[in-house]
Amino acid sequence: MPVQTDRLANHLEIRELGLLFGGVRAIDNASFEALPGEVLGLIGPNGAGKTSVFNCITGFYRPTHGTIRLGGRAIEGMRPHGISRLGIRRTFQNIRLFNDLTVLHNIAAGAYATGGSQAALLEAVGQVCAELGLDRQLLLQPATSLAYGLQRRVELARALVADPRVLLVDEPGAGLNAQEKGLICSLLRDVVRSRQIAVVLIEHDLGMIARACDRVVVLDHGTVLAQGTPQQVRNDPSVIAAYIGA
């Protein structure tokens, strides 16, 4: 299991983030941080700007305003591959595995360009599979032939194989049954506890949020409406209004 010696390196800080699409303020002056060793929930109605926040953090979108710091270092405006190499990894709202590749190749792709020997790469793939409960017998199967819940875990494995400092997970519960959702929650808990990385979880299923998250940030129309424990935000009148309004 990877042990991060410098926990502060795994700290994600977002200050006054703004993103404009033409006249649309997708993100409007949003500030929050994700701490090492916690799962931070990012919730809000459809169109609130959640995925856009991930796209800014990972360099897919260039923020119009604000700063994003990883371990104290400003990363906003950097290219996606540079940010990935610094240790911010993600999964996608719609699973994006390489169709024609095996599970092994899909997971190994997450460690591409990190250097190291082939033996070390195979070792890392084996470790992350054990961590996520993926049977090694799956490794030579085409990734997209697997059941949906397993594909979600393969995507998590690809994100984790190169020992990220921050893991961003976008709606991992979509399309999963209750048992698979519970499994994802407990895997995320295990990952933060053993790796002491920061995990940010976007999820519509508030049961998953309550189960997986230490703290929650609520976005609405691109702004941070509330933050606190899952219990605190669930009882916040402005949060209730935003959800009913949606």
Size of the site for ligand ADP (CB under 6 A): 11
Nearer to Mg ion, 36 or 45 (CB): 45
Comparing CA positions, the residue from 75, 77, 76, 106 lying closest to residue 91 is 106
Verify binding: residue 58, Mg ion, rule CB under 5 A: no
Minimum Å gap between C-beta 11 and ligand ADP is 23
Q: At what angle do helices 118-131 and 148-160 cross, to 10 degrees?
A: 130
What string marks each residue from 8 to 27 as x (binds Mg ion by CB under 5 A) or -?
A: --------------------
Minimum Å gap between C-beta 44 and ligand ADP is 6
Name the one range near Mg ion by CB under 5 A: 9-17, 42-50, 147-155, 229-237: 42-50
Name the one range near ligand ADP by CB under 6 A: 46-54, 133-141, 144-152, 178-186: 46-54
Name the one range near Mg ion by CB under 5 A: 46-54, 61-69, 188-196, 218-226: 46-54
Comparing CA positions, the residue from 5, 59, 43, 75 lying closest to residue 225 is 43
Verify binding: residue 91, ligand ADP, rule CB under 6 A: no
Name the one range near Mg ion by CB under 5 A: 50-58, 76-84, 137-145, 208-216: 50-58
Verify binding: residue 46, ligand ADP, rule CB under 6 A: yes
Nearer to ligand ADP, 10 or 52 (CB): 52
Residues 49-88 that bind ligand ADP (CB under 6 A): 49-52
Q: Which of 51, 91, 106, 151 binds Mg ion (CB under 5 A)?
A: 51
Which partner in ligand ADP, Mg ion, none is near 128 (CB below 5 to 8 A by kind)? none
Comparing CA positions, the residue from 173, 216, 164, 213 lying closest to residue 58 is 164
Terminal CA-to-CA distance of the chain, rounded, Å?
A: 42
Nearer to ligand ADP, 21 or 148 (CB): 21
Q: Which is it for strands 65-70 and 198-202: parallel, antiparallel or unpaired? A: unpaired
* Amino acid identity for residue 118 in this structure: Q
Residues of this chain that interact with ligand ADP (CB under 6 A) are 21, 24, 26, 44, 46-52
Residues of this chain that interact with Mg ion (CB under 5 A) are 50-51
